Amino acid sequence: MSNIIDDEQISMLVEGAGAEAVRPILDAYWISNEELSAELGRGIEAGDPGSIAATAHGLKGSSANLGATKVADRAKEIELAAKSGDLGKVAELFRSLPQDIEETKAAFEKVLAA
């Protein structure tokens, strides 16, 4: 799963705080993902690369903090494409984001269940 999540990072969090303490953190992360994804969509519809880059940067940071590697990497790609003004590439990358998030949820759940 190392290309989806940082197993070591999330495992250390679970070992240190316990799975039940980690669940609310992940729940807040998923809510934030939904909000940021919606904001990215609005930025894409508006054709606003500055907004897209800033939103993707936020998603990248929150994802990296939890070890959600695949989502952080996708957000970084979106951010860089927006900064370069390639809105076609942004839209293409954005279409992959929901699948990345679902794979990340499954990977986190597997760690929590272990």
Q: How confident is the model at residue 2 (pLDDT cuts 50, 70, 90)?
A: low
Q: What is the DSSP string of 76-90?
A: HHHHHHHHTT-HHHH
- Domain ranges in the chain? 7-113
Look up residue 2 and give its DSSP letter. T
Q: Identify the band that residue 111 occupies on the pLDDT scale cut at 50, 70 and 90.
A: confident
* CATH of span 7-113: 1.20.120.160
Predicted TM-score (pTM) of the model is 0.92
Instruction: Using pLDDT thresholds of 50, 70 and 90, give the confidence band for residue 1.
Output: very low
Residue type, 106: A
The residue among 19 and 75 whose pLDDT is bigger is: 75
Q: What is the pLDDT of residues 31-89, one digit of tens each?
A: 999 999 999 999 999 999 999 999 999 999 999 999 999 999 999 999 999 999 999 99
| pLDDT at site 13 | 86
Single-letter code of the amino acid located at 96: S
Rounded (10°) CA dihedral 28, 42, 51, 106 = 30
Residue whose C-alpha is closest to residue 33's, from 85, 84, 88, 70: 70
For residues 97 and 37, is the Cβ–Cβ distance under 8 A?
A: yes
The pLDDT of residue 8 is 87
- Statement: residue 12 has pLDDT above 70: yes
